[in-house]
Structure 1
Amino acid sequence: MDTFKKDKKSKWRQRIGYGSSDFACNLIWQVISLYLLYFYTDVMHLNAAAVSVMFLVTKIFDGFTDLAVGILIDRTNTKWGKSRPWIFAGAVPFAVTAFLAFSVPDISQKGMLIYAYVTYMLLSLAYTIVNIPMASILPSLTADSQERTNLAASRVFFSYIGSTVVSAFALRMVDRFGNGNEAVGFRIVMMIFGIAGCLVFFFCFYNTKERVRINEEKVSLKASINCLIHNKPWLLFAANIIWFFGGFIIQAGAIIYYFTYNLNNKELSSVVATITTLIPVATNLSVPFLARMTSKRNLMITGSVFHGAGLLIVFAGGTSVPVVIAGVTVAALGYGLKGSMHFAIQPDPVDYGEWKSGVNIAGTMSAVNGFIGKVGMAVASSVAAALLASSGYVANAQVQTNSALYAISAMYIWIPLATNILTIITFLMYDLDKKLPQINKELEERRLAER
């Protein structure tokens, strides 16, 4: 049972501490999502087809490191808990590798591609070390379902604040610090974001505590996999990880291309990126209230409907800025609700699995979730780069071919729309919300009996 159920100060300290971790992550993650493909093609001047292959290779490698870190978390046992030490340990490497990945060395194009492979893989590994524990720690912070929703909402709130900082200021900072040299600008900006993110991770470490005792029985990898494949709620959640992150990666990476070339309005890309990350903050703040009115499943479906509808409005608006802004706003409201529900739902299959099998594999499950997400992102990133390469896209060209414009439109509108439809179909089959109160009651009784 949580020892701080009635201590509002401790609750808010932990909510802010836990949530701040995603602010730190998104100072870097949002730059990767919005600008890494652009950085490689238009700043490093790497071949788009080569970048496509690189994204696929590095992300699949990253997926396996997720599994390794998750398994190690399940086997970690320190006075700080199982997950917290990893957040502390990964803070400095995350900052350093972010700086290196967005630096342009004075070497040949072949050497540049090798450098991109190595630094991106190191950055992805560092991201894994801080990000997997953020998911695995949640079931240990509290056993209360509503408080978990509040913690997840805090995490998503801070993630959108971090994303908004990047969306609103990153390109402006690149221009200012680089004085027209984007290579210099990106390097300085990532140094600033890296240092800030590192300090925030330390803040997170000192303001969270793993309060819930979980079953620490050592579980083999084979047994863990067996638990997963018999966990229907997790299987559905896992499928949606692909739709959620795949759609996000393709759309986010396409923003600067879509508004620069399809709408001939590059300045609007920063405005749209800011709306895409700022509006979800308002949605996120309403999540604890909405979660009391209906199920997480229904909120996920509703968010997908709004996100898809907003994309259709953007397409219908053509070059009309007011209509496009309206569509982006509707889409952002939906995306914010989906994002909040993704993290709010994530710990529930962990409890279901422990209730059904008798063991808690939060670290392994978070790692597998990360692996699936990385594979989905790998495919999405590779598809995006491949679409640009095959369509005849020319970096920095004043006018792109029709095939290139169609490819960019597919990246920003049609593929994300398809992933929203898949999310709706997936969650129509999800029914854990109704069972969870009884499951949590029985789990708490078991934990008390084991003490």
Structure 2
Amino acid sequence: MGLWRQRIGYGSSDFACNLIWQMISLYLLYFYTNVMHLNAGAVSIMFLVTKFIDGVSDLIVGYLIDKTNTRWGKSRPWILFGAVPFGVTAVLAFSVPDIGQTGMLIYAYVTYILLSTSYTIVNIPMASILPALSENPHERTVLASCRTFFSSVGSTVVSAFALTLVDKFGNGNEALGFRIVMIIFGVIGCLVFFFCFFNTKERVMVQAEKVSLKANISCLLHNGPWKLFALNIVWFFGGYVIQASAVIYYFTYVVQNVAMVQIVATITTLVPIVTNLLAPFFVKLTSKRNLMIGGSAVHAGGLLIIFFGSTNVPVLIGGAVIAAAGYGLKGSMHFAMQPDPVDYGEWKSGVNTAGTLSAVNGFIGKVGMAIASSIGAALLQFGGFDAVLSVQSATAQSYITTMYIWVPIVMNIATIITMMFYNLDKIYPQIIKELDERRAA
């Protein structure tokens, strides 16, 4: 199987994921409250409750992947058999029947839990399969960059076309429009997951260990590089979520230029595609850790340019491009670094915990996003934000600026400090050499 065939096959999986996940992130809350007219407070509680269930499913799926041992490998079967349920549950989530407030809320609970579980079944293997696709550190960086590239393409498709398609197919009926769009995206997503399955191969075969979940968690807790990586997951996803949620507020109420919302959102999606393509070349010049630190510094610098740019459109666009480039570099390194602590753990303890580690990473990411979302909502409330007002108070604008500029900058500084203690890159070649010798024996 050719290298580029596998790279494209692996990367395409995140295109499929983001066709649906980006719809969930951007429009599911809007669909529940504005299209189906569910109570916003009840929906908020639903999202909170389902996070706990989602976290448990992450751990279970990760543990089961570690115990899977088939002729297709450990992770690939989950991608194959999870494709159809993911597409079907996505359609069901955007097809709420008009059966009264209580009935619709119960339906939303059930379908959202099923959708979140289906997402876990296809998403966790996407992370756990990377160490098995290649043991070459550079090739892993290329594979991770391909995944991030296709992720950005999927997000861009949704951001650019989803609402237009909803209007076209719904013809004034948003509920119908969302349902048809999700059917289209669901079918495309399923086909792309099948493409991923048939165009990847788990080359680095590790004998499945009969190790309990408790023992797996114990191995992770004694994995120093992973603990630093896990801490950085909070900074990485937390900073992203709070900044993304604040874009519309910052440029509408602080910059007072509504047109900039879509421009900056597009820049934020497109520029990382270029950065991802360049990441494999950058990593040859230095280490993944250094690129994560550099990307964080560039991201923070871009946000400062936006802040000092005030309402100057060219400066704002320049700052957005720089910030997006830094974020793209961070994103590439995040996925490229993720399999390295797996190898370190196997080298140190003799146990490969790719599935469990990927599951725990996913859970930590969701915790980080949940905390960030709560902080964002709290800042709006404490700042006295009033959606009815077209011009917000100085206090509200200050809190919105904190959301979009200062909290993400603090998260970037936290990443830089955390990564200063991450030294796995230095000993990684020796770890791979010794693991190869053990596997050969």
TM over 0.5: yes
Query: 2:125 is matched with which residue?
Result: 133
The one-letter code matched in structure 2 to 1:217 is: E
How many pairs does the alignment contain?
440
The structure-2 alpha-carbon separation of the partners of 1:149 and 1:326, relative to structure 1 and needing over 3 Å to count, comes to: same
Deviation of 1:66 (Å): 0.4
Check the 8 A contact 1:99/1:191 in 2, yes or no.
yes
Query: 1:194 is matched with which residue?
Result: 186
Partner residue of 2:437 out of 439, 442, 445: 445
Which is further off, 75-84 or 244-253? 244-253
The answer to whether 1:65 aligns with 2:57 is: yes
Q: In the aligned structure 2, how far is the partner of 1:46 from the partner of 1:393? A: 22
Q: Deviations over 1:235-282 (max 9, x none)?
A: 000001111112222222333344444444444333322211110011
Deviation of 1:448 (Å): 0.5
Partner residue of 1:289 out of 281, 287, 293: 281
Q: In the aligned structure 2, how far is the partner of 1:117 from the partner of 1:391? A: 31
Query: 2:77 is matched with which residue?
Result: 85
Deviation of 1:172 (Å): 2.8
The structure-2 alpha-carbon separation of the partners of 1:24 and 1:213, relative to structure 1 and needing over 3 Å to count, comes to: same
Q: Deviations over 1:382-425 (max 9, x none)?
A: 44445556656566x46264365555443333322221111111
Percentage identity across aligned positions? Answer: 71
Partner residue of 2:336 out of 334, 344, 347: 344
The answer to whether 1:208 aligns with 2:189 is: no
The answer to whether 1:399 aligns with 2:390 is: yes
Deviation of 1:327 (Å): 1.6
Partner residue of 1:269 out of 261, 264, 286: 261
Q: How does 1:3-82 map to 2 (within 5 A)?
A: 10-82=2-74
Deviation of 1:196 (Å): 1.1
Partner residue of 2:114 out of 99, 112, 122: 122
The answer to whether 1:333 aligns with 2:325 is: yes
The one-letter code matched in structure 2 to 1:348 is: D
Q: Deviations over 1:317-348 (max 9, x none)?
A: 33333222222111110110000000000000
Check the 8 A contact 2:66/2:209 in 1, yes or no.
no
Q: In the aligned structure 2, how far is the partner of 1:57 from the partner of 1:373? A: 16
Query: 1:377 is matched with which residue?
Result: 369
Q: In the aligned structure 2, how far is the partner of 1:39 from the partner of 1:422? A: 35
Q: Deviations over 1:129-180 (max 9, x none)?
A: 0000001111111111111111111111111111121222223333333445
Query: 1:251 is matched with which residue?
Result: 243
The one-letter code matched in structure 1 to 2:4 is: W
Q: In the aligned structure 2, how far is the partner of 1:411 from the partner of 1:36? A: 22
Query: 1:164 is matched with which residue?
Result: 156
Tell me: higher relative CO, structure 1 or 2? Use CA pairs within 8 A at least 6 residues apart: 1
The one-letter code matched in structure 2 to 1:399 is: S
The answer to whether 1:307 aligns with 2:299 is: yes
Check the 8 A contact 1:52/1:382 in 2, yes or no.
no
Deviation of 1:376 (Å): 1.6
The one-letter code matched in structure 1 to 2:202 is: E
Which is further off, 73-82 or 384-393? 384-393
Q: In the aligned structure 2, how far is the partner of 1:78 from the partner of 1:43? A: 44
Partner of 2:390: helix, strand, or coil?
coil
**TM-score of the superposition, structure 2-length normalised?**
0.92
The answer to whether 1:239 aligns with 2:231 is: yes
The answer to whether 1:94 aligns with 2:75 is: no
Q: In the aligned structure 2, how far is the partner of 1:178 from the partner of 1:400? A: 33
Q: In the aligned structure 2, how far is the partner of 1:102 from the partner of 1:86? A: 24
Q: In the aligned structure 1, how far is the partner of 2:141 from the partner of 2:415? A: 20
The one-letter code matched in structure 2 to 1:202 is: F
Q: In the aligned structure 1, how far is the partner of 2:153 from the partner of 2:322? A: 18
Check the 8 A contact 1:49/1:385 in 2, yes or no.
no
Deviation of 1:227 (Å): 0.9
The one-letter code matched in structure 2 to 1:126 is: S
Check the 8 A contact 2:20/2:186 in 1, yes or no.
yes
Query: 2:348 is matched with which residue?
Result: 356
The one-letter code matched in structure 1 to 2:140 is: R
Q: How does 1:390-429 map to 2 (within 5 A)?
A: 397=388, 399=390, 401-402=392-393, 405-429=397-421
Q: Deviations over 1:3-57 (max 9, x none)?
A: xxxxxx6111111100100111111222233334444454445555444433332
Which is further off, 372-381 or 173-182? 173-182
Partner of 2:2: helix, strand, or coil?
helix
Q: Deviations over 1:39-98 (max 9, x none)?
A: 445444555544443333222221111000001111111111110111111111111222
Check the 8 A contact 2:166/2:177 in 1, yes or no.
yes
The structure-2 alpha-carbon separation of the partners of 1:267 and 1:126, relative to structure 1 and needing over 3 Å to count, comes to: farther
Check the 8 A contact 1:233/1:432 in 2, yes or no.
yes
RMSD: 2.3
Deviation of 1:121 (Å): 2.0
Deviation of 1:194 (Å): 1.7
Q: In the aligned structure 2, how far is the partner of 1:54 from the partner of 1:194? A: 23
The one-letter code matched in structure 2 to 1:146 is: H
Q: In the aligned structure 1, how far is the partner of 2:305 from the partner of 2:42? A: 34
Which is further off, 361-370 or 212-221? 212-221
Partner residue of 1:225 out of 202, 217, 237: 217
Query: 2:98 is matched with which residue?
Result: 106
Check the 8 A contact 1:303/1:337 in 2, yes or no.
yes
Check the 8 A contact 2:96/2:108 in 1, yes or no.
no
Deviation of 1:302 (Å): 0.8
Q: In the aligned structure 2, how far is the partner of 1:432 from the partner of 1:95? A: 38
Q: In the aligned structure 1, how far is the partner of 2:362 from the partner of 2:125? A: 11
Q: In the aligned structure 1, how far is the partner of 2:294 from the partner of 2:349? A: 32
Q: Deviations over 1:270-313 (max 9, x none)?
A: 33222111100110111111011000000001111111122222
Deviation of 1:353 (Å): 0.3
**TM-score of the superposition, structure 1-length normalised?**
0.91
